[in-house]
Amino acid sequence: MPFEGDPLALYGKNIIEDYHASLTTKLPQPDADKTNSFDISDEKLRFFPDRKVGILGAGVGGLYTALILDSLGVEYEILEASDRIGGRLSTYKFPGGKMYDYYDAGAMRYPLPKKDAQGRYKNGIMKRLAELIIYPPLNQGLDRLKDRLMPYYYKAREGPNLKPGFYYFNGVYEPVSETPKGPFRGQEMGVDADYIKAGVDAISDDVTKPFVRMLIEDFKHDEKKGWKVMMENDSYSVRAYMAFKYLPSANLELPPQHLPNDVINWCGLLSSSSGGYNRALTESVFSPLAFAKVGGTDFGDVDWKCFDGGSEVLPKMMAKVINETKKDRIHFGKRVTAIRLSDLIIILPPEFPKHKIPSAAEELENYSDAGDLVAGASETIGDPGRRERVIILRGAGVRVSVNSESRVYSHVISTLPLPVLRTIDMGGAEMNTMQKNALRQLQYGPSVKIAILFKEPWWTTKLGIVGGQSFTDLPIRTIVYPSYGADPNAESRVLIASYCWTSDADRLGSLANPQQSDRLKELVLRNLAEAHARVRPNGNLITYDFLQDQFLDMHVKDWSHDPHAMGAFAFFGPGDFQNLYTSLTYPAANKRLHFAGEALSTRHGWVVGALDSAWRAVYEYLSVTDQKDKMKRFTDMWGKNVEWTSPSVQPQYDESGKPLPSNLLYEHFGLIDKAIGAGEIKY
């Protein structure tokens, strides 16, 4: 089973192979001696590509790119708009608080794969993150990143006198348990008795499990039967599939018809965030497949972890290693405003052999002929004090503007969140129509977290809850109890009183400003009091008055209104991900502007998605510049992603019959180049 433990790798591979098959049918058939493989013949691309690469964004994706380039000896610098490191890894420490009085406003939990008998991480969707955590440079000295990992209780910690989290819907309280959850007054929502009897968990499972089972068969037998069925249903959102296509399995003893609206609304209330069923069905099948223990496979065999000190520990340690190698490569307060193709000026030492200069290069008699390009960011090879020959390569650079200033790089890897990228002037970046449309169409989901610092961790001291979550239909929707700081000597008094997505976050987000903080505080405390009122059967301790008295401080993070994020993470509707993934995995600006960031991976919505996309962007950069020596080191050190390094469907050979570099990435570039040449993909 080549994709053991990582169905999302197969997801990516299938998307790319399908796209290639559809492109091939639109393109003229290759001559016998021509191939679909990428032709690395542009000498300008190969000329000193490693002098300086521009990395946009100092989130985990940008920092990972930097660590990789460092390991390969490639020069780079990072431009970051804000004054901090980490992007959506953002730990807020309450002023004056104790050691554990913090919360993670962005990413907070990581389902890492389990380790094998030799202590190595097994396969799994988070393997790249797990391997980053044990990367030796991040584990030098006394403060070692791997030692910062601690358990994250996805479900509340179990033990004597400890209580689970709970569901509180339609005024009904029920502890979280292994048994199916219960109807929560479904009848009053218009749900018929048959559906109530079957139960919301069984119905929800019945919608996605048949696809899951077929996909597992695909993994086992390296086939595409399940995938084909999945793709036949790919135009559906979860809601549309339930309403127009789904027929319940016989064992549920339900009417043999699509689900009525009231039933869909009831299932949606109890299984998803408001509007969460507008997500693509395919996405909703693949994400549980990656985690759930289904069909006896080891998918989902994970250890949930978080970082002691908060998730910001990870980017801070990465930045420390980057700064140790060479100072001042991360530039803060540099908000990128425009990206465009540009000429590249290169200053060569007098002894530089002439025959090595690309034939397309023009020599500048007078250094000052280069005008503002030289002032921007010229490449200097050799001793800058002995500048004698200055050459200009037309269209061989990428100019990045930061307000009035600009810099020119041979290649740029952008890890900017895609909604932000869309607000940047990309007029001269030579993006094709598919790429521009994919950016426009992308839905970036909102998310709001509201954390409150209390005088004491009452959920533990009064109710016995440590870690885990509670779920409610009240506006706060999900309550997350801290997994850290359960020890009375090092306690955390911070509760994530609300973690919302989709339209729940949109609405609460309108109160996420200082003018509305009293209103928000009252709403959240009332919701907390109502939701926790029934946890103790022998009398309620958690009243609104009690919580008011306990309240010390509140912090709200609304990701949609953060100008450097413009949303929390990608939330794909039907067909959206395929378009984005196939179009933005091809570089713009004459193959010099590479796109990365969380959304451009099959593992989107996770830190590992940002890492994967960075890996692919570096792989792209090394491929188009044909840096063979570095490529070997790159794959030896940073591994491979099967969705890009799998052999292409048709192996490719050169005219003498010698095999050409042939994998899905090369095939991707080759086919897209061809489609551009044939006018199938337009600019």
Ligand X SMILES: Cc1cc2nc3c(=O)[nH]c(=O)nc-3n(C[C@H](O)[C@H](O)[C@H](O)COP(=O)(O)OP(=O)(O)OC[C@H]3O[C@@H](n4cnc5c(N)ncnc54)[C@H](O)[C@@H]3O)c2cc1C
List contacts with ligand X (CB under 6 A).
56-62, 79-82, 87-89, 106-110, 335-336, 415-417, 420, 447, 449, 559, 564-565, 568-569, 597-598, 605-607, 609-610
Reduced to 3 states, what is the DSSP secondary structure of residue 93? strand
Q: What is the DSSP string of 239-252?
A: HHHHHHT----GGG
- 548's tokens: 């008011």
User: What does the buried/exposed string (b/e) look like for 516-549 if buried means 16 or more CB atoms within 10 Å of the residue's CB?
Assistant: eeeebbebbbbbbbbbbbbbeeeeeebeeebbee
Q: Which two tokens stand for residue 34?
A: 């021509």
Q: Cβ closer to ligand X: 36 or 287?
A: 287
CB-side exposure of 351: number of CA atoms within 13 Å?
Answer: 4
State the nearest-atom distance from the C-beta of 424 to ligand X, in Å. Answer: 6
Q: Does an H or E element contain 150, and which?
A: strand 149-151
Q: 3-class SS at 395? A: strand
Tell me whether residue 602 or residue 662 sits nearer to ligand X (CB atom).
602
Of all residues in this chain, which one has the CB nearest to ligand X in the complex?
Answer: 59
Nearer to ligand X, 550 or 601 (CB): 601
- Strands 362-364, 405-409: pairing kind: unpaired
Nearer to ligand X, 69 or 565 (CB): 565
At its nearest, how many Å lie between ligand X and the CB of residue 171? 28
CA distance 485 to 101: 8
| C-beta closer to ligand X: residue 85 or 281 | 85
Total residues found in the chain within this entry: 683
In the complex, minimum distance from the CB of residue 231 to ligand X, in angstroms, rounded to a whole number: 26
Q: Show the tokens assigned to 651.
A: 């192996």
Burial of 155 (0-12, 13-18, 19+ CB in 10 A): middle
CB of 524 to ligand X, least distance (A): 17
Tell me how far apart the alpha carbons of residues 211 and 381 are, in angstroms, rounded to a whole number.
Answer: 56
Query: What is the rounded distance in angstroms from the CA atom of residue 615 to the CA atom of residue 596?
Result: 9
Pairwise CA distance, residues 673 & 318, whole Å: 36
Q: Using DSSP, state whether 516 is helix, strand or coil.
A: helix
Minimum CB separation of residue 338 from ligand X in Å reads 10
> Nearer to ligand X by C-beta: 339 or 535?
339
Shortest approach of ligand X to residue 271 CB, angstroms?
19
Closest contact distance (angstroms) between CB of 106 and ligand X is: 4
Nearer to ligand X, 109 or 258 (CB): 109
CB of 451 to ligand X, least distance (A): 12
* CB 483 to ligand X: min, Å: 12
Minimum CB separation from ligand X for residue 629, in Å? 28
Name beta bridge partners: 478. 471
- Tell me how far, at minimum, the Cβ of 301 lies from ligand X, in Å: 17
Closest approach of Cβ 568 to ligand X, in Å?
4
How is 415-480 classified by DSSP, letter by letter? -S-HHHHTTSB-TTS---HHHHHHHHH--EE-EEEEEEEESS-HHHHTT-B-S-EEEESSTT-EEE
Find the helix packing angle between 261-271 and 200-221, rounded to 10°. Answer: 80
DSSP-assigned letter for residue 66? H
Between 312 and 430, whose beta carbon lies closer to ligand X?
312
Instruction: Using the minimum distance from each CB to ligand X, give the nearer residue, 38 or 64.
Output: 64
Q: Which residues have CB under 8 Å from 48's CB, separation 6+?
A: 346, 379, 381, 410
Rounded Cα distance, 3 and 23, in Å:
25
CA nearest 576: which of 146, 187, 145, 281? Answer: 281
Min. distance of Cβ 294 from ligand X in angstroms? 21
Q: Is 60 or 593 the residue whose CB approaches ligand X more closely?
A: 60
Closer residue to ligand X (CB): 20 or 477: 477
Backbone angles phi, psi at 631, to 5 degrees: -60, -40
